[in-house]
Amino acid sequence: MKKSEILRSRDLFKRVALKGKRVETVLFRCSFLAERGEQAGLQVGFKVPSKKLNAVRRNRIRRLMREGFSARRSVLDSALERAKSQVHMMLIFKTDQQASADKLRLSMVLGDIGAICQTIANRL
């Protein structure tokens, strides 16, 4: 992912959290904010709450989230091109899934992120 595709601004994080639409799967909660514009674009942020997981587990989950998103983003990219929209999205790992954090595999992440991308593409 390019640096310009990573959601970093605290203000933008807050705006997406407050005004964005939500999609939930078993492992993730996603908030996204679509804006019309001349160019299609996508910014994504990955968040793993630190309350119940140590840094090693958080980093591993974040790494899996990034890898899963990179593999499934083509569905979203084509929908953004058609709709000429810019989307800011935030993927949040559900901490109530702590027990499954150790057993988390890329295939599980791919399935959930694929479902999220498809849902967002349908809502554009």
For the chain, the structural domain boundaries read 3-123
Return the pLDDT at 111. Answer: 94
Q: Tens digit of pLDDT for each residue in 86-112? A: 999 999 998 776 556 778 889 999 999
d(CA 37, CA 124): 13
Q: How far is CA 8 from CA 38, 88, 106, 111, 119, in A?
A: 22, 10, 24, 25, 23
Q: How far is CA 30 from CA 22, 39, 43, 56, 108, in A?
A: 6, 23, 13, 22, 16
Q: Tens digit of pLDDT for each residue in 8-21? A: 889 999 999 999 99
Topology of the domain comprising 3-123? Ribosomal Protein S5; domain 2 (3.30.230)
Return the pLDDT at 32. Answer: 96
pTM tops 0.95: no
Q: What mean pLDDT, rounded, does the chain reach?
A: 90
Q: Tens digit of pLDDT for each residue in 63-88? A: 999 999 999 999 999 999 998 889 99
